[in-house]
Structure formats: C-alpha cells, structure tokens
A and B are shown apart, each in its own frame.
Chain A
Amino acid sequence: NAGVTQTPKFRILKIGQSMTLQCTQDMNHNYMYWYRQDPGMGLKLIYYSVGAGITDKGEVPNGYNVSRSTTEDFPLRLELAAPSQTSVYFCASSPLGGEYEKLFFGSGTQLSVL
C-alpha cells in the first residue's frame, strides 16, 4: 500500500548507543518531516527536508542528524542516545510544503532509552 513506512516500530536503547530510524515513502513527495511526541504533548518538529540533498532544522534538532540522499528515504540518526530522547517518533511526507491536506504520517516508532 502506498504511504509512509517507518521501521522499527519499537526499540529499546541503552544510554550512549546509536541507531537510525528509517522512513520511506513511495508517493514521490518532495517534503519529508520527522516529529517526536512526548507523553501528553503535541508533536514537535525535529528536522525536515524539502527535497533530495536539502535538510533543515526544526524546533528540537539537538541530538539528531538526518540525510536525504533520495526522494524516497529520510532516515533519522541518534548518535549518543539519552533518556531525554525517549519518545514516539513520527515521519511524515507531503508533495509540497504548504499542502498539508496531502500530508501523510507513518505509524510511528516508539523508542525507549534506558
């Protein structure tokens, strides 16, 4: 099915470990986003990309890195995991930046850092 696919769905990390959250979309969308959702809070933008090779910081980028080598993929990298990064992570995509009604979200990755 077309849409945004995130892997893994769940992950437990130890403090200081690193990992990459994968995000792939097959809709040929230009814009992709990474959000985190902390308990009882709305989503906060971590990074976004307006196309292959172009990324920019969102509201809460510290502790994360991203790359966008292809239109389809937008991985999120945690280099030194910290307990403060325990959260649910959502990837999203849209054709263009203002086309929010065409925004698709992935099903999320629940990450715990212990």
Chain B
Amino acid sequence: AQSVTQPDIHITVSEGASLELRCNYSYGATPYLFWYVQSPGQGLQLLLKYFSGDTLVQGIKGFEAEFKRSQSSFNLRKPSVHWSDAAEYFCVFGATNKLIFGTGTLLAVQP
C-alpha cells in the first residue's frame, strides 16, 4: 500500500542552525513527492516537488530535498533556519486522484 511516514513529530532547532526533516515512503514505482508547509492558522503552501530526474530538488524559501530511492526517503533540508520557518511540515505522496499526507513534523525555532 502507498504510505508516507514522518518519524519526527516535533523538532526544535536554534535559529541559524541547519535543519533536516525526515520522510519515508512506501511505493513500488517512482513516486510523486512533495513537501508542504502550514503556518499557524494558515492553509498549505507547496515548498517543492519531485516527479523524476535530478534527485536533489530546490524549493522556495531556501529549502531543498533529496530523493533517495535506495532508502525510500525524501528528506527536507535547509542550511540555516530562520525564526519565520516555525511551522508544520508535511511530506506528501501523489497517488492517483489524491494526495496522501504524512502526519507532519512541527518545527519550533529557538532564538
């Protein structure tokens, strides 16, 4: 069955530190993968997407993600976190006619 797992429910990092949010998927073929961000009380914003090709994808706000087929992973990274990055992040799998969401990782940023 198709599924997405985000093993970290909550992460706290210091402002300026690097960030990596983990995502693992379960699917037999090449998946469509996304990272969305949801700021408090807001809707969802697409950060980046992977369909095929280059396994390192760049997104908005300085985020990037790397697709690793051998590890069934699509981890999100940012070299230097800003206080405005505090939000909930969802790894999402694109299935036929629907998106399958991970449970999310809540990011807190310490000054």
Give chain A's interface residues, CB within 8 Å of chain B.
Answer: 31, 33, 40-45, 48, 50, 56, 58-59, 90, 97-98, 100-101, 103, 105-108
Contact B104 A44 (CB under 8 A): no
B111 at interface (Cβ–Cβ under 8 A)?
A: no
Contact B97 A97 (CB under 8 A): yes
B99 at interface (Cβ–Cβ under 8 A)?
A: yes
Of A41, A43, A98, A107, the contact of B94 (CB 8 Å cutoff): A98
Give chain B's interface residues, CB within 8 Å of chain A.
Answer: 4, 9, 32, 34, 42-44, 46, 49, 90, 92, 94, 96-99, 101-104
Contact A90 B44 (CB under 8 A): yes
What separation, in Å, do the CA atoms of A59 and B97 have in the docked complex?
12
Q: 15 other contacts beyond A43-B99, A97-B97, A100-B94, with CB at 8 A cut-off?
A: A33-B98, A42-B4, A42-B102, A42-B104, A43-B44, A44-B101, A58-B98, A97-B96, A98-B94, A100-B32, A101-B49, A103-B46, A103-B99, A106-B43, A107-B43
